[in-house]
Amino acid sequence: MTPRTPEDVRAFYDAHRTVRQYRTDEHGEPLPLPAEHLDVILHAAQRAPTDATAQLYSLIHLRDPLVRAQVAALTTNAHIATASEAFVVCADVRRTARVLEGSGRTPGHWPAVAVHFGIGDAVMAGTNLLTAAEMLGYLGCWIGGVLNGLDGILDLLRLPPGVLPFAALTIGTPAEAAPYRPRVPRPLVVHTDAYREGSDEEISEATAVMNPIAARGDQPGDWARLLGAYFAAGGGMEKREPHLVAALRRQGLWAGERPLAQEVSRSGL
């Protein structure tokens, strides 16, 4: 492989955008990727690094328009129905348990480790998928809104114990000119040898850098306001918390508790 220059690499990642509006046909239906494009991005996903060789993830490729529409409604993200391709990216330790059982071994009980490494593997596979799509000229969107309808998604996609949705992921040809998004200054993100708390002044400066990302219509950019809507007391994440805990319990991934007897078989937890 011919090495790229630092300028090439910077330009590639500076071209990254998150898009939610995709080109569709004249009836508003998705324009699926050419078969060879879909094949190579899935190849890229499967070439992702993984912990202990286990590949603790699965991708649910959403093809049926009715399934797409239901996932779009459950996640409150309408573009799942119109993207060229849509996936639900899952942590998956069930397959590993089945391999162990097939060899006559008893799966261990490690639900916290399952969540830790399963989500890591899922993110790495999804990131490879999205990066490959961007290399082909597409753009996409990670969708955390799976937490808005976890129970329904578990039922709809028939996800067994040991499999947990992490995010949805859409890709396609953009039909919008998404803006360049700022990032927190590097000294607050990249630490040398040990974690370093930023000073109040650095936090204030980082907030100022990030403020434009929060501009919405007539509302001026206020990053703390946007973060508050998600992460402050009474925000969206507090509302999602009990649903995620319930899903972890349902899927046998809640640390400190043995799975229910009916979930033990082939759950690997």
Q: What is d(CA 54, CA 120) in angstroms, rounded to the nearest whole number?
A: 12
Q: Is the pLDDT of residue 219 over 80?
A: no
Summarised one tens digit per residue, pLDDT across range 124-163 is 999 999 999 999 999 999 999 999 999 999 999 999 999 9
72 with 80: CB under 8 angstroms? yes
Q: Report the amino acid identity of residue 203.
A: I
Nearest to 93 by CA among 81, 85, 101: 101
Summarised one tens digit per residue, pLDDT across range 33-80 is 999 999 999 999 999 999 999 999 999 999 999 999 999 999 999 999
pTM comes to: 0.93
Summarised one tens digit per residue, pLDDT across range 152-177 is 999 999 999 999 999 999 999 999 99
The pair of structure tokens assigned to 193 is: 């040898």
168-205: burial string, b at 16+ Cβ within 10 Å, e else:
bbbbbbbeeeeeeeeebeeebeeeeeeeeebeeeeeeb
Q: What is d(CA 138, CA 19) in angstroms, rounded to the nearest whole number?
A: 10
Q: What is d(CA 139, CA 14) in angstroms, rounded to the nearest whole number?
A: 13
Higher pLDDT, 99 or 265: 99
Looking at the structure, give the CATH architecture of the domain made up of residues 9-180.
3-Layer(aba) Sandwich (3.40)
| Residue with the two structure tokens 């996936």 | 87
Give the whole-number percent of the chain exceeding pLDDT 70: 95
